Amino acid sequence: MHSSSEKSAASVTAAGKDIPDFSKGLAGIVAGRTAICSLDGNLRYRGYSIESLATNGDFEEVAYLLLYGELPSTTEHRGFCQRIAAAASSLDPAVTAALAELARRSPSASPMDALRTGVSILGQIELDQTPGSRESLLAQAECLLGQVPAMLVAWIDLSAGRAIAPWPAGTIASSLLERLTGRVPSANGVAAFGSTLVFYAEHEFNASTFAARTVVSTGSDMHSGITAAIGALKGPLHGGANEQVLEQLTQIASTDRAEAWVSEQLAAKHVVMGFGHRVYKDGDVRATLLGKMCRTMVRGTSGEELERLAERVEQIMLERKKLKPNLDWPAARVYHALGLPVRVFTPIFVVARMSGWAAHIIEQIGDNRLIRPMSLYCGPAPREYRRP
């Protein structure tokens, strides 16, 4: 529906004609069909509930499901993991050389910018100009699933002024966690980290996925679509929210301060990151599931204090705004408990969502129509040109 100002502006230009309805931000608008993900009642990937996938499968299994449409057999899973690991272990020297030069000039630059740049360079190296066959697109997707986490840890090493360490053997969850923390992770740590990758892997027509689909709908290539998606995810209203969640909790510091802090934010009309969702009005099932995992993971540790603070903020937000947490709220706490620096929170989101982005790109290319919505003009009425 229009706001009063939108109606007024539209009326002037419509010259008394009926004004078509529009939805700001495309909220509630169905823009296409997908067989990849459903948010109807319960989040499902290819028909499987997110709870069953997060508690029973690993990230590679879920990524295979998103790309190929079915869960892998034992043999398919093993081969898929081997191909991803091979891609992670053999990042093109041109990419690492470019990242090294960028790190030398701007070591404090965002890892998100490094990933966006790295994927663009990969597209140029591979001469990825127009979409190929489904088989070639799947091969590109598998390579990117390994290359993106490898680029992330390469940037972390290079921006710290050290040589790039080798990619460890193991799953994406265990290898990436080991590289980001510098130590061999516990089985519980890998399980919790892997669950966040599964939760972040896919979420229908979100902003970054829609950006990727829009790019490839023009006939463009996989790498261009992924580059655009990373740019969209960087924004604080999308992927960047998980970093701001921990910053908020750090600002609040104690449960005694929670009520006053929330009141200050609401009075200033600031968004409290980690709460509310454009689609989920009754709560984000991913936040509920990961919140339970987080509380279990930190039980008996100093992390329990942060959980008590988070629980108090949740209570206040529910009472004051009727808002429940979204996935970013517990994910930030899980990453903090695992000892991960804040600046890699959103890049980890990229690592996970690579699977969903690639699946959507392949689906869009397979049944394509140019994405080109219309707009409702609300500028000046027709006027004659006169030089001032």
Measure the CA angle with vertex 279, ends 24 and 329; round to 5°. 115
Q: State residue 37 phi and psi, 5-degree precision.
A: -145, 140
Q: What is the pTM of this model?
A: 0.90
Whether residue 109 lies inside any domain: the answer is yes
Contact of 264 with 316, CB cutoff 8 Å: no
Query: Are residue 167 and residue 300 in the same domain, yes or no?
Result: no
Query: Are residue 180 and residue 252 in the same domain, yes or no?
Result: no
Q: Is 328 a catalytic residue?
A: yes
Whether residue 383 lies inside any domain: the answer is no
As given in the structure block, the two tokens for residue 332 are 């930030």
Residue of 128, 157, 284, 328 marked catalytic: 328
pLDDT at 316: 95
For residue 84, which of 367, 383, 275, 354 has the smallest C-alpha distance?
354
Measure the CA angle with vertex 295, ends 292 and 300; round to 5°. 150
Evaluated on CA atoms 324, 327, 333, 334, the torsion sign reads positive
Whether residue 345 lies inside any domain: the answer is no
For residue 234, which of 314, 340, 119, 362 has the smallest C-alpha distance?
119
Full pLDDT tens readout for the chain, 388 residues:
333 333 333 333 444 455 567 788 887 788 889 999 998 878 999 999 999 999 998 999 999 999 999 999 999 999 999 999 999 999 999 999 999 999 999 999 999 999 999 999 999 999 998 899 999 999 999 999 999 999 999 999 999 999 999 999 999 999 999 999 999 999 999 999 999 999 999 999 999 999 999 999 999 999 999 999 999 999 888 888 888 899 999 999 999 999 999 999 999 999 899 898 777 767 789 999 999 999 999 999 988 999 999 999 999 999 999 999 999 999 999 999 999 999 999 999 999 999 999 999 999 999 999 999 888 888 999 999 999 8
Query: Are residue 220 and residue 261 in the same domain, yes or no?
Result: no
Q: Count of domains in the chain?
A: 2
For residue 145, which of 229, 85, 192 has the smallest C-alpha distance?
85
Whether residue 355 lies inside any domain: the answer is yes
Query: Are residue 181 and residue 217 in the same domain, yes or no?
Result: yes
From the centroid of its chain, how far is CA 79? 26
Contact of 289 with 50, CB cutoff 8 Å: yes
pLDDT at 41: 73
Query: Are residue 189 and residue 107 in the same domain, yes or no?
Result: yes
Q: Is 277 a catalytic residue?
A: yes
Whether residue 157 lies inside any domain: the answer is yes
Whether residue 48 lies inside any domain: the answer is no
Query: Are residue 148 and residue 189 in the same domain, yes or no?
Result: yes
Residue of 223, 277, 336, 360 marked catalytic: 277
pLDDT at 4: 37
Whether residue 45 lies inside any domain: the answer is no
Q: Is 77 a catalytic residue?
A: no
d(CA 78, CA 210): 31
Full domain range(s) for residue 157: 53-235+350-366
Query: Are residue 157 and residue 174 in the same domain, yes or no?
Result: yes
Whether residue 38 lies inside any domain: the answer is no
Query: Are residue 357 and residue 317 in the same domain, yes or no?
Result: no
Amino acid residing at 257: R
Q: What is the CATH number of the domain that holds 140?
A: 1.10.580.10
d(CA 291, CA 382): 55
Q: What is the CATH number of the domain that holds 279?
A: 1.10.230.10
Residue of 2, 77, 92, 238 marked catalytic: 238
